[in-house]
Amino acid sequence: MTTKKVHGNTGRVATEEAKLAMSAGWKKWKEEGNIKKPFTETHRSKLSETQIGDKNSMSGKTHSDDSKEKMRDKATGRKQSEETVLKKAEASRGSKREKVHCDWCNEDVAVNGYARFHGPNCHMNPDSPRYDPNKKPR
């Protein structure tokens, strides 16, 4: 009887008999049509609590310049498949962003750009650092 270490559990050894039993159990489980059930709201909130604030493993840390460079190199040139591009296009097709009215330039603008480019920061507001007296309203 030969034994082999099981990956991910480097101290335990599974016998061939144990491996066959595990395999049979897994096959039966799949044949019965079992699928992983979604987490309950209670469970999700508990999982969320374990990652908030100082409990988060990256809390107070930053990536080094070397790590950032490695991540950038790995991501550079990465292309999405045609299927992914089509799925994303279909998901966003027909959706409209909520609009907000800017009183300074009299434009209806998307919510995500309002705080940065309109309202108190509008180029038509004389108190704004972006104010341009030569620019005309649309």
Buried b or exposed e, range 56-68, using 16+ CB within 10 angstroms: eeeeeeeeeeeee
Full-model pTM: 0.36
Residue 7, in any domain of the structure: no
Residue 23, in any domain of the structure: no
The region that residue 75 occupies, defined by phi over 0 for left and psi between -120 and 50 for alpha, beta otherwise, is: alpha
Phi and psi at residue 22, in whole multiples of 5°? -65, -40
Q: Would you state the pLDDT for residue 8?
A: 64
Residue 89, in any domain of the structure: no
Residue 138, in any domain of the structure: yes
Q: Measured between alpha carbons, how far is 49 from 125 in angstroms, rounded to an integer?
A: 43
pLDDT digit string, tens, across residues 26-81? 888 878 777 777 889 999 999 999 999 899 989 999 999 999 999 999 999 999 99
Q: Is the pLDDT of residue 88 over 90?
A: yes
pLDDT band at residue 137 using 50, 70 and 90 as cut-offs: low
Residue 55, in any domain of the structure: no
Residue 134, in any domain of the structure: yes
Task: Please count the structural domains in the chain.
Answer: 1
- Give the domain range for residue 113: 97-138
Residue 50, in any domain of the structure: no
